[in-house]
A and B are shown apart, each in its own frame.
Chain A
Amino acid sequence: MPELTYLEAIAQTLRQEMERDERVFLIGQDIGAYGGAFKVTNGLQEAFGEWRVIDAPLSETAIVGGCTGAALMGMRPIAEMQFADFVSCGWDQIVTVAAKQHWRAGTPIPIVIRLPSGGGFAGGPFHSQNPESSFAHIPGLKLVCPATPSDAKGLLTSAIDDPNPVLFFEHKHLYRRVRGEVAESRFTVPIGTARIEREGNDATLVTWGAMLHLAVEAADALVEDGASIEIVDLRSILPWDRDAVLASVEKTSRLLVVHEDTRTAGFGAEILATVAAELFEHLDAPPRRLTAPDCPVPFAPSLERRFLPQVEDLVTALRELLAY
């Protein structure tokens, strides 16, 4: 199987889906000849023309709202927010219009919004956020956060197929840093299903996106302690795979949730609350979460390092969890 970077997997998926279905079109800022801020759409306008890969002005409201109108008319639009942070400018059209359309009207809204998210680049407070939790509170949306190239392809294909608005959080830090085997032909990963990255018996670590790779490093470090950590890659935030998380915690009796988003009302809170309510008598330790602190993403590398959970933070948290 060919190896692709995370970015190449996304680009390949966009190309394959556009070849397969002429209703699919891309719209976003600087995605044409320029290839997008991160070059995900490089070469696609040349291949498909300027009306399949549409360079749009700085108009997130009209881009997202336009996608909704086009979807109602039978198209399959894929919008790119240049940075996930900018989705705040399209909030109303996502949350008020697209998310509620099927409920109030019975009409599907098959749109995908691609959101290059996450920190680690000294991008500063407006170019580094992980806004998935803000949208996790909105019934009608689906949210996916792939961590591997193969899941990026399988989940993006599912997102394009899905009759609902899907927010596709693609982590910028993974674009060129992770490589992996990705099947050349079309395949899907069902939205709402977690993946067991590795099996273990002593504690469950639930995470998604870029934090998965830190989780693997931390679990490796714990092997030296003689501890086996089960890693659940959640992959989808809405809907989330409750069954997979509950089954794992029922087995290990200990839970650590790690996310790059900030703490208060972050999605880790939802997972902890569910586990506390459902598995209270199975737990050997209070469920824990390791997250970014409740502040904007700082610019200075020293500050950003403090902000983003680090491998050593995960190791410490796991050791404390196991020692409880």
Chain B
Amino acid sequence: MSRGVTKLEQPTRLSRETLVSFLEEMLLIRRFEEKVEERFRAGDLSGFLHVALGQEAVAVGVCRTLESDDVIASTHRAHHHCLAKGMTPNALMAELYGKLEGCSRGYGGSMHLYDLATGNLGANAVVGGGLPGIVGAALSFQLRGEPRIAVAFFGDGATNTGAFHESLNLAQLWSVPAVFVCENNHYAESTPSHQHMPITDLSRRAEAFGMHCVVVDGQDIEAVYLAATEATAHARAGNGPVFLVANTYRLTGHYVGDPQVYRPKGELRELRETQDPIPRLRELLGVDEESWSALEADVKATVEASVEFAKSGTDPRPEDALLNVYA
């Protein structure tokens, strides 16, 4: 495969069954995160919460192309990646409630989720901090001749960090089986891209390392899935790492409660009307009201069950704060 930028304009249609399963998974993530917002506002949840409303197609589209023993690294905005990689809603919600039944036993919280059993090397709340570990994981697979790949999720803001550039350089130099998925949501916290990057085409950053790039509309899950299929196959086949830019939109604030004073007036409303991946897929599939209601009911039951599970969980004992500092 030649190095360069692949623009996927007319993706092959996937089966209806596959697309319906994508819709179910994206809706579960959406309703889960809306529930997280609601419980935070109600005072149930502590800490800093970052939801990914609008970015579900990237997580689901990419993770659906992965094998169970492939690994990912995530960011401070991690719920969608974790659920898409196989973390259960119960384990995630329990973590947000700070319970021992949570994926990090209540020691991590929203920005420090972790689930090695599902191949999740963890959310890293230092922007760009997850990429070096992905290079090391991919290097391990290569050294041992295993057909696994490692995938880093990060945002446009992370591409300004030294960790990003060191990681892409090493990955390409050693031709390790890694995929770098840039969720370009056009804001680094409150700072719009044009204020933090002197270029607009993010693929140029990876081209500087000679890395194969794929750019895709991150609100079109079919396109994301097909682009990720190409990217992961490229890496798995030993052709080297891939930089996958998914242009997406955060249809909410940086954190739950963000007044978003940095957004131009009307931007959020317009984006919600035009760039929401879930209605877009629903429309493509022509899901009728009855089926939609049934789907909503299923998802709601799962989300409510996760809240009940979390609420009935166990608080870590204060004296156990010192456990596990060392292995």
Contacts from A to B (Cβ < 8 Å): 25, 51, 56-57, 59, 61-75, 77, 92-93, 96-97, 101-109, 139-140, 142, 163-164
The residues in B between 263 and 306 inclusive whose CB is less than 8 angstroms from any CB of A are none
Q: Of residues A77, A104, A139, which shows the largest number of chain B Cβ atoms within 10 Å of its Cβ?
A: A104
- B247 CB contacts on chain A under 8 angstroms: none
Closest A residue by C-beta to B323: A103
Are A66 and B135 in contact, with the CB atoms below 8 A? yes
Q: Please name all residues of chain B whose beta carbon is closer than 8 Å to the beta carbon of A105 when the two chains form the complex.
A: 104, 108, 114, 116, 122
Give the complex CA separation of A62 and B325 in angstroms.
24
Residue B8 is within 8 A (CB to CB) of chain A in the complex: no
The count of residues in chain B whose C-beta lies closer than 8 Å to any C-beta of chain A is 38
Q: Is B112 part of the contact surface with A, judged by Cβ < 8 Å?
A: yes
State the CA gap A70–B146 with chains docked (Å).
13
- Evaluate contact between B104 and A62: CB separation under 8 angstroms: no
Q: Report chain A residues within 8 Å CB of B112.
A: 104
Pairs A–B under 8 Å by Cβ, sample size 20: A57-B173, A59-B166, A61-B132, A63-B132, A65-B163, A68-B133, A72-B121, A74-B140, A75-B136, A75-B143, A92-B129, A102-B324, A102-B327, A104-B112, A105-B116, A107-B116, A108-B327, A140-B325, A142-B326, A163-B327
Distance, CA A102 to CA B105, complexed state (A): 12
Report A195 CB to chain B, min CB distance, Å: 22
Main secondary structure, interface of B, reads helix
Residue of B nearest to A59 (CB): B166
> Judging by beta carbons under 8 Å apart, are A62 and B163 in contact?
yes
Chain A residue nearest in CB terms to B168 = A62
Is the CB of B53 closer than 8 A to any CB of chain A?
A: no
Q: Which residues of A contact B150 (CB under 8 A)?
A: 69
Closest chain-A Cβ to B208's Cβ sits at a distance in Å of 14
* Nearest-CB residue, chain A, relative to B134: A69
Of all chain B residues, the one with the shortest Cβ separation from A64 is B132
A109 contacts which chain B residues (CB < 8 A)? 327
Contact A97 B129 (CB under 8 A): yes
Docked pose: A128 CA to B133 CA in angstroms: 29
B202 to chain A, nearest CB (A): 20
Docked-complex contact A65 and B140, CB < 8 angstroms? no
A77 x B136 contact (CB < 8 A): yes
- Are B131 and A65 in contact, CB atoms less than 8 angstroms apart? yes
